[in-house]
Every structure is written in C-alpha cells, then in structure tokens.
A and B are shown apart, each in its own frame.
Chain A
Amino acid sequence: MHSTKVNKLQILIGIASLLVGLLVYLIDRPPDTAYFLAGWAKDISLYNKIPNMFGPISNTLPAFAHVFSFSLITAGILGSRKRGYLFICLFWLLIDGAFEMGQRYSSMPLKFIPSWFDGIPFLENTGNFFHFGTFDYLDLIAFVLGTIFAYIILTLTMERRKGYEREESFIS
C-alpha cells in the first residue's frame, strides 16, 4: 500500500458525527433501550433530565450517523482516495444493512451466535440485539443517506495529490 497521510479532518468529522449519534441515546432515549447505557452508565443518561433535542429524527439519526461516521473515520485512518472511499462507504452500508436485516429475520442470525459470547461485554448483547431490536425500513433509508453523505464529505475533504503520488485504492 502506498499509504498517504492520515486525514485528520475526516477523522474529526467522523468522531463528531459519532458523538451526535451518542447524544441521541443520552438525551432522547430511555437508558434501558441501549446496552451500553446499562448498569453504572445509566447514570450518565440525560433522558427526562433535559428536554429532548432531536425530535422526530431521533429515531433514525443514529443509523445515519453510524454509517457516516465510520465511513469517515475508516477512510481518514487509511488516508485512501476516491475509489477507496467508495469501497469503504459500501462496506459500512453493507455491515449496517446486514445487522438491520438481521433484526427483521432474527431467527437466522440467532442460530449462529456462539454460547461463548455470554459474559463478554458487548458480545453478550448480540442475541438481544437481534431478538429485541426493532427492524425499521427508515433505518435502511438512513443508512443509504449516510453512505451518500459520507462519500460526498470524503470527496470534499480529500487531500490533494502531490506530484509523485498516484491514485490508489484502499485494497491496492
């Protein structure tokens, strides 16, 4: 890989977007709707302590933000270029879309969850994610929008190539 430099701007935008998604869970959603707010983390929830911030978009904003932010962070770390952006964005679209569809057809993924996930932080929630998570068509739309926006922002924030550099892709 002829790596280019890490694109800090993209990473920063990605992290900022991730924090926006986090705010939805902290402010607009009851803490027991998310695994990561379980236990002691419940105390950091601001739900019902301050007014809801995101209104009707709070349902789909996290879906948008997830694809968007991880596409930017991944691309920023890899310092890749246009073709790479496309692959990165589609990769996260595929991952998020697959998990969402897993909630719709939960019986299938549930069969493949190994028992050793039990007790391992986050992994232990995999079954619950598919079992109790709610499939929403709007989330799929949000993923697609997040992908498109991510690609646009990546393109706009791409560091220009110096003379000796050549176009390279994420997988080259």
Chain B
Amino acid sequence: MIRYLIRRLGHALLLLWGVSTLLFFLLQAAPGEFFSDMRINPQISPGTIAALRSQYGMDRPLPARYFHWMESVAKGEFGYSFAYNLPVSTLLAPRIRNTLLLTVPALLISWLIAVPVGVLAAYRKGNWMDRAFSVGTSTLLALPDLLIALLVLLFALRTGFFPVGGMTSSNQPQGWWKIMLDTAWHMALPVAALVLGSLPTLLRHTRASIVEVLDSSFMRAAHGHGLSAKSSLFRHALPAAANPLISLFGLSVAALLSVSLLVEVIVGWPGIGPLLIEAILIRDLFVVIAAVVFSTMFLVIGNLLADILLYAFDPRIRVQ
C-alpha cells in the first residue's frame, strides 16, 4: 500500500512539474507583458519601466528566469505578482481557501444526493420514476452552467432571502460563530449553483453503473437463491457498483473546479476564478501559472483520493 502510494505520489509530482514548466515557457512566449501597458502611459518614464523589469528579473535570459522562478517555487512563493506586488502564494492562499469553501461542500452535497437518487432510479428502472429521472437529468445536463448561475443569482436578487456578492456582509458580525453563520449564508447560493451544475453527470453515471450490476448474472443468481431485494441491493449490488463511481469521484473534482470558476465570477465570490480572469486580462503571468497549477493539483489530489479509496474497496486492485 505504502509503496503503491509513493509511486502514485511521485507520478503526480512529476506531472505537476511538467504542467508548470510547460505553462511557464508557453506564457513567456506570449506577446505583450504586464509592463507593456505602462509604456503607453506618458507619466512613466522608460527608465522606470526598465528598472521595474530588472527588479522582477524580466530582463534576464529565459533559462535564468526559469531557474529563478523554480527557486521561488521551491521556497513556496510561486513567483511574484506584478499587479499586487506580492508573492503569488500570499495572494493565492486566501483565494484557494475560498474556492475550497465552495467546492468541498458542493462535492459532498452532490454525491450525497446523487447516490441515493441514482440507486433509486436504477432500482425502479423503466417505471415512471426512472423516466422522470432521465428527463430531469437530460434537461439539467443541457442547461449551460452559465445560465444556472445567472438564474440562481436572479433568484437571490428577486427574493432577497440570500445575500449577493462577496462572502461576508458589509457590517461583519462579531464572534466566530456569527461569522461562520454569515459565511454559510453567503455560501448557500454559489454552492447551490455548483450542485445543480455537477449533479446531472453524477446521477447518470450512478444510475448506469447500478443498472449494469443489477443486470449481471450474479445478481440474478442471488435473486434465484431467494435473497431479499434489500439485502441483495445493499450487500452485493452497491459494493460491486462502487468501483466506477470511485473513479468518477476524481473526475467530478475537475468538473466542479471548472464550474466553480464561472460561478465565482458571476456571484462575485473571491475565489481563484475572478483572480485568474483578472490576471489573464492584465498579463500577470505568474498568477496565471500558479492558479492553473493549483487547479491541476486539486484534480490530482482528487484522483489520488479515488485511487486510495479504490485500493481500500476493491481487492482486485491489490493483487496487481
């Protein structure tokens, strides 16, 4: 188990290094940089810009810049943000926390809904409930996440039950308990949008994998031997169907991150999303690289978790 984990971890780190290096060279090749907008400004002299560029090491040759950047990554700084004049890690850390604050609850809630509902639909395959389920999921699947987020925002604005924009009220209450409640209140809407966006895929996969197991010959044999429907479902069908679902868990993290970016931008949640878009627009290179690398890291962690779960759940994996 330990060796398996270490191998997987090494692989993941190598992949992250590959992604970040690729991004670094790609973005260095981009036309225009943060300082090119300054050149248009007559109040900033060319000398100032040159000084700034050399301060950030932008005038050094590409390999030197790469190693300089690698050094700062090793120190945990991930380069420097030109716009905020801060190490990227300082800038990104609260943003990552905020994004996780949305995605982790959304992940849990959507799985907590998806598994029972998917099992129910698979168990009652073909009757009205299943049909309503399939109509519901395909409609929800066809609704763009963009629209879902906007509709959720519209709901908040119309009813006024939920706060709009940001993650805290303007007059922030005192005491950690009240702060927590306040934040949870602000979280409700973006989390709802995320759950609605990621639910249809999860539901469909859950249903499909359970249906496949229920159709298999060992389930028919269990039925033939007179096992009750309940015990065969919980004792035999669910563990057998768990395997593809656990793999899906890793993938659902990725899907959720992409939807989260949009939702954050639309409801004005101070997560990675708005920062990344802003950094792209002003060409704040290191922020872009770090945001993409961190999103990749979440995905890799999701896959790693899925692998560990698989290892724990499925004895067939352990044999190899």
Query: A and B from one assembly?
Result: no
